[in-house]
Amino acid sequence: MEELEAFRRETRTWLEENCPDSERQPALPDDQYWGGRDAAFPSEGARVWFERMRDKHWIAPEWPSAYGGGGLSPEQAHVLKQELKRIRARPPLCSLGLWMLGPALLEFGSEEQKLEHLPSIVRGEIRWCQGYSEPGSGSDLASVQTRAEDRGDHFLVNGSKIWTTGADKADCIFCLVRTDPGAKKQEGISFLLIDMASDGVSATPIELISGESEFCQTFFDDVLVPKSNLVGEINKGWSIAKALLVHERKLIAEMGTESPRKQITPTAAAREYLPFSDGRIADAHLRAALVDYEMLLQAIALTHMRCYEEKSTGTQSAAPLIMKYVGTELEKAKSELLLAIMGSKGLGWEGEGFSQIELDTLRIWAFSKTLTIAGGTSEIQLNVLAKRVLGLPQS
Ligand SMILES: Cc1cc2nc3c(=O)[nH]c(=O)nc-3n(C[C@H](O)[C@H](O)[C@H](O)COP(=O)(O)OP(=O)(O)OC[C@H]3O[C@@H](n4cnc5c(N)ncnc54)[C@H](O)[C@@H]3O)c2cc1C
Report CA-CA distances (Å) from 274 to 268, 340, 352. 10, 10, 22
How far, in Å, from the CA of 135 to the mean position of ligand 1?
Answer: 10
**Is the predicted pLDDT of residue 176 greater than 90, yes or no?**
yes
How far, in Å, from the CA of 331 to the mean position of ligand 1?
Answer: 18
Q: Is the CB of 303 under 6 A from ligand 1?
A: no
How far, in Å, from the CA of 377 to the mean position of ligand 1?
Answer: 6
Q: Is the CB of 292 under 6 A from ligand 1?
A: no
**For the CA of 133, the nearest atom of ligand 1:** 11
Residue 250: per-residue pLDDT: 86
**How far apart, in whole angstroms, are the C-alpha atoms of residue 21 and residue 25?**
8
How far, in Å, from the CA of 146 to the mean position of ligand 1?
Answer: 17
Neighbours of 76 (CB within 10 A): 18
The single-letter DSSP state of residue 30 is G
Q: Is the CB of 383 under 6 A from ligand 1?
A: yes
CA 53, 246, 185, 202 torsion-angle sign: negative
Q: Return the residue whose CA atom lies nearest to atom 31 of ligand 1.
A: 139
Task: Tell me the mean pLDDT in the region 337-351.
Answer: 93
Q: pLDDT band at residue 360, thresholds of 50, 70 and 90?
A: confident
> Which span out of 130-144, 239-253, 347-361 was modeled with the highest average pLDDT?
130-144
Q: pLDDT band at residue 165, thresholds of 50, 70 and 90?
A: very high
How far, in Å, from the CA of 144 to the mean position of ligand 1?
Answer: 13
How far, in Å, from the CA of 138 to the mean position of ligand 1?
Answer: 5
Amino acid at 331: E
**For the CA of 96, the nearest atom of ligand 1:** 8
**For the CA of 167, the nearest atom of ligand 1:** 8
**Domains, in order of start, for the chain:** 2-94 (1.10.540), 128-236 (2.40.110.10), 262-389 (1.20.140.10)
**For the CA of 375, the nearest atom of ligand 1:** 17
Task: Tell me the mean pLDDT in the region 188-192.
Answer: 98
How far, in Å, from the CA of 217 to the mean position of ligand 1?
Answer: 14
308 class by beta-carbon count within 10 Å (0-12 exposed, 13-18 middle, 19+ buried): middle
Q: Is the CB of 132 under 6 A from ligand 1?
A: yes
**How far apart, in whole angstroms, are the C-alpha atoms of residue 247 and residue 232?**
18
| Greater pLDDT, 349 or 128 | 128
**How far apart, in whole angstroms, are the C-alpha atoms of residue 290 and residue 294?**
6
Residue % of the chain over a pLDDT of 70: 97
Residue 210: per-residue pLDDT: 67
